[in-house]
Structure 1
C-alpha cells in the first residue's frame, strides 16, 4: 500500500501565493477588485485557512493587495519601494558608480551553469539562468567603468526582451512584470586579478588588480531573482562609508 504525503504547508502557501500573484499581474483580478473570500480560496485550492492567510500575507508583502477587517482583500496599485536598510550602523554608504552609465550588451542568452560559473555566482551548478553580459561606460569616457554580468532566474527570463531599450537596473523590471518584491540585497566585494578576457573588456593590462562586486537579489518568497556581478578596474573604483559610534 502506497501512502501519498501532502506537500508541506509552507510549500502550499507559496504555491497559492504564486498562482494568485500571476492572476493579479495578468489582470484576472484588476486593481480595485476584490479577491475571493478566504473560505472560497480554501475550497478552490483545497488548503487550510492558515495556508490561505499566509498566501495573502505574501501578496501584501509584495504590495499587491490590502486587507481590512470585514472588507475583504482588495487588489491595489503597486507602489515603488526603493530603500534598503543595511545591517550596519552607518550614516553614509556611497558607491561612486556613474549614474546613467550606458550599458552595452554583448550577449543575452540562457545558460546552464557549470562548476566554474556556479562558484563565480554562488548559484547551483546545473541550474539554468538568463545571462546578460556587457560593459558600462560613462558619457564622454573612452574607458569602461566596469564589466557587468546579470544572472536572471529563468522564471523571470522574459525581461530579456526589454533590455535593449532599458539602461537601468533589471530588478525593478522583474518586480513590475511579475508582481514580486525584492526584499533583500546581499552584497559581497572581493579583490580579483584581471584575466586576459576581462582585461580586454576593461581596457587594462592582464594581471592588474580589479574589484568584483556581487549582489544577490532575493524575493519575498525566498527565491533568488537575480545575481549581478560588476567588475571594476581598481583604479576606477571607489567605495566610501562613514560610521559613527553609538552610545550604549
Structure 2
C-alpha cells in the first residue's frame, strides 16, 4: 500500500501506522534498533509533521515503539503487544477506528425492534432493521479484535455490496448515500463475560471478562441511523478520552 495514493486527512496517519507496522513485522526495522526520525518519515512519505506524530503515537500505544526525547525512537516488538487503545478526543476517533480495523461479515438479515440486539436504547421509532454481524480484525496484523453487530433502520439501508467489502464503516456509507451529517454519538460500555460461542472465533477463553461497547449514531435531523454492539475480550480493548472543563 503506497502512501502516494490520495486519502482522506482523517485516515492518513492510520494508513502510515499500518504500513510502518508491516515493515517492522517484515524485519525492515529490527527489535532494539533505531526507528526513523519524524523528519525522515515526513520526507519519505511526503506527509506533514502532525500525520507522522499521530502515526507514531498509535504505534507507541500498541507497544511497538518506545519514544524518548533526545535519544530517538526504538523498536520494542515485531507485532502489537498491548490491547487496542481507542483514543476518543472527538468524532474523528471513530473514523480512525474504522480505518484501522476490518469487518468480515458472517451474518446478514433483518431484525425486529423487539430483538435483544436493540436493547439499551430508547425512542427508536423504526420497527425493521438491517443487521450485519461479523468478526472485526485489526488491519495491521489481521488479529481478531471483537465480534461486531451493526443495525441500520430499513429506511437507511445502504448499498449492501459496499457494506460486504468491509472496507468502510457502515455509518460512513449511510451518511454519504442519504446525505446525512453526524450530529453526535451516544456510547455505553459495560462489563460481562465472553459467551462460549464467541471464544474460539476470537481466540480467547470462554467466560473470560469481556467489554460490550454499544453506540447510537444520530444525524443532524435527529434520526438514529445506526446502532452498533461490539463484544471484546476485556484484555483487547482500552478507551482513552480527554475530558475538558467547560468555560
- Normalization by structure 2: what TM-score? 0.54
Q: Does 2:184 match 1:179?
A: no
* 1:155 corresponds to: 155
Distance 1:122 1:205 in 2: 33
CA distance in 1, matches of 2:187, 2:207: 24
Separation in 2 of the partners of 1:177 and 1:114?
27
| Deviation of 1:210 (Å) | 0.9
Residue 119 (structure 2) aligns with: 119
Q: How far has the Cα of 1:177 moved from its partner?
A: 0.7
Alpha carbons of 1:126 and 1:165: their partners in 2 closer, same or farther (altered >3 Å)?
Answer: closer
C-alpha distance in 1 between matches for 2:182 and 2:195: 32
* Residues 85-142 of structure 1, C-alpha deviations (whole Å, 9 max, x = no match): 58xxxxxx89995843221110121222435233256575992100000111124646
Structure number with larger C-alpha Rg: 1
* 2-structure distance, mates of 1:136, 1:247: 36
What is the Cα deviation at residue 179 of structure 1? 1.2
- Count of residues in Structure 1 that have an aligned counterpart in Structure 2: 159
Distance 1:118 1:247 in 2: 33
Aligned residue in 2 for 1:77: none
- Alignment partners' CA distance in 2, 1:198 and 1:168: 24
Matches within 5 A, 1:132-171: 132-139=132-139, 141=141, 143-171=143-171
Cα distance between partner residues in 2 of 1:180 and 1:98: 18
Q: Secondary structure at the match of 2:204?
A: coil
Give distance in 1, aligned partners of 2:159 and 2:94.
28
Aligned to 1:220: 220
Over aligned residues, Cα RMSD in angstroms?
A: 3.3
Distance in 1 (CA, whole Å) between partners of 2:110 and 2:190 is 26
Asked if the contact 1:117/1:125 (under 8 Å) is kept, the reply is: no
Give a deviation string over 1:137-179, Cα, whole Å, max 9, x none: 1246464111111101111113323212342221121111111
Change (3 A) 1:110 1:209: same
1:37 match: none
Q: Distance in 2 between matches of 1:115 and 1:94?
A: 26
DSSP-derived class of the 2:155 partner: helix
Q: 1:144 to 1:158 in 2, by over 3 A?
A: same
Q: Report matched runs for 1:10-29 at 5 Å.
A: none
What residue ranges of structure 2 are gaps of 5+ in the alignment? 1-87
